[in-house]
């Protein structure tokens, strides 16, 4: 069965409390449950992990080798700062879809650049929790081609 790692970066554990005007009121646990349900409809498995620590995220990406066929990632602020995450994804050559709750291009200028986007198969942002669902569908579609 196809396996996808859903990896969430820093501060996403605070969803539902953190800036609801920007990120909405849904919690990370609710997003994880939504994705697991959606995965069951697609006949794939989704494993969810979140960390506020860059090295833990890098280790999780390394661990995808021979374990997962795809990566769905919201790297949070590391999207705009982490060459280490970019290099980890490039090194393991796993098909990756980058997702964001908010439209990063309509926010502060520093959020307009993503180190991950150039090595991802695609990026979805601005649709709240729906970005995750759309990202999962896009990734599964890509893997099945």
Asked if residues 119 and 112 have their Cβ atoms less than 8 Å apart, the reply is no
62 catalytic? Reply is no
Q: Which of 23, 78, 115, 132 is catalytic?
A: 23
pLDDT of residue 114: 97
pLDDT of residue 18: 81
Q: Which residues contact 30 (CB under 8 A, 6 or more apart)?
A: 16, 129
In whole angstroms, give the CA distance from residue 118 to residue 90: 10
Please identify which of the residues 37, 68, 78, 100 carries the catalytic annotation: 100
Q: Do 24 and 101 form a contact (C-beta atoms < 8 A)?
A: yes
Q: What pLDDT score does 2 carry?
A: 97
Give the architecture (CATH level 2) of 3-144.
3-Layer(aba) Sandwich (3.40)
As averages over each run of 10 residues, the pLDDT of the chain (145 residues) reads: 97 90 87 98 98 98 97 98 98 98 89 96 97 98 97
Q: What is the pLDDT of residue 139?
A: 98
Please give the pLDDT value at position 92.
Answer: 98
23 is catalytic: yes
CA distance 96 to 72: 6
């Amino acid at each position: 069965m196809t396996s996808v790692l859903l990896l969430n970066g820093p501060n996403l554990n605070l969803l539902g409390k953190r800036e609801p005007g920007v990120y909405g009121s849904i919690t990370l646990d609710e997003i994880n449950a939504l994705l697991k349900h959606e995965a069951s409809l697609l006949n794939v498995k989704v494993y969810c992990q979140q960390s506020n620590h860059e090295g833990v995220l890098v280790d999780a990406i390394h661990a995808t080798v021979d374990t997962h066929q795809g990566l769905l990632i919201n790297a949070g602020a590391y999207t705009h700062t982490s060459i280490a995450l970019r290099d980890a994804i490039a090194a393991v050559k796993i098909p990756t879809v980058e997702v964001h709750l908010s439209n990063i291009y309509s926010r502060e200028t520093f959020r307009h650049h993503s180190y991950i986007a150039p090595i991802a198969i695609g990026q979805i942002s601005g649709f709240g929790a729906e970005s995750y669902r759309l990202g999962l569908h896009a990734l599964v579609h890509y893997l099945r081609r």
